[in-house]
Structure 1
Amino acid sequence: MSAPLYQLKAEFFKTLGHPVRIRVLELLSQREHAVAELLPEVGVEAAALSQQLAVLRKANLVLTRREGVNVHYRLASDEVAELLRVARTILSGVLRGQAALLADLDATAPRQL
């Protein structure tokens, strides 16, 4: 019997649950990148980047293309970029709501003498 859809979704979001993987996907949302181009943008050691790229490959979120000694990565689908855009929109709304709540708290705080 296959896993329920909610369980598969949870595993999918676990795959996205690492800052380096998110940053890589954001960069690949713009265009294809060689690993050497990703390194300075992501700010981790080559071994750490390689490990995170392997996770993304295993999850079928990125595709590779070899050109000589260089490996180039691109998103497997445009929907990944769309998911990142939706996440940004959701987070923006949450942060706006938190800022409004903080402003309300500050406005109602007792004044110190």
Structure 2
Amino acid sequence: MNKGLHEFKADFFKALAHPLRIQILEVLSEGNRSVNEIQTQLGSEGSAVSQQLTVLRAKNIVYGTKDGNRVIYSLRDPMIIELLEVAKQIFNNHLVDAITLLDQMKDE
């Protein structure tokens, strides 16, 4: 087994393990944004967004580029978009399973 790869995956998923970070990645999957643009789109405090962007930058999931006096954030790897879509599909599958189970229990 590749221990380094497993550690990378564990660290990567830890970096994703926060709802606001996921929301930030979903916003960035639509295109590059500044902190203020992300904050406005999410209706979240700037300090919270900045704090979570710091975590995502530290794990090389996003990067920032200076544009005058602001920083524009981007996804480091466009495969993140696919990962978020797969996670959504898994969620939907679980939801369908739960609804099916509830329907079965209701019919008993």
Same fold flag (TM > 0.5): yes
Name the residue aligned to 2:68.
68
Distance 2:12 2:5 in 1: 10
Shift of 1:67: 1.2
Paired AA for residue 97 in structure 1: D
Indicate the structure (1 or 2) with the bigger Cα radius of gyration: 1
Deviation >6 Å, runs of 4+: none
Shift of 1:3: 5.0
3-state SS of 1:71 partner: strand
TM-align CA RMSD: 1.5
How many residues are aligned here? 107
Distance 1:90 1:76 in 2: 23
Paired AA for residue 101 in structure 2: L
Name the residue aligned to 1:32.
32
Q: Specify every segment of 5 or more residues in structure 2 that has no aligned partner in the other structure, as ranges.
A: none
Q: Normalising to structure 2: TM-score of the pair? A: 0.91
Name the residue aligned to 1:111.
none
Verify: 1:85 aligned to 2:85, yes or no. Answer: yes
Q: Specify every segment of 5 or more residues in structure 1 that has no aligned partner in the other structure, as ranges.
A: 109-113
Name the residue aligned to 2:99.
99
Distance 1:11 1:76 in 2: 16
Distance 1:3 1:43 in 2: 40
Distance 2:37 2:10 in 1: 31
Distance 2:41 2:107 in 1: 40
**Identity, % of aligned positions:** 39
Distance 1:43 1:17 in 2: 20
The answer to which of 25-34 and 35-44 deviates more is 35-44
Q: Normalising to structure 1: TM-score of the pair? A: 0.87
Shift of 1:4: 3.8
Verify: 1:12 aligned to 2:15, yes or no. Answer: no
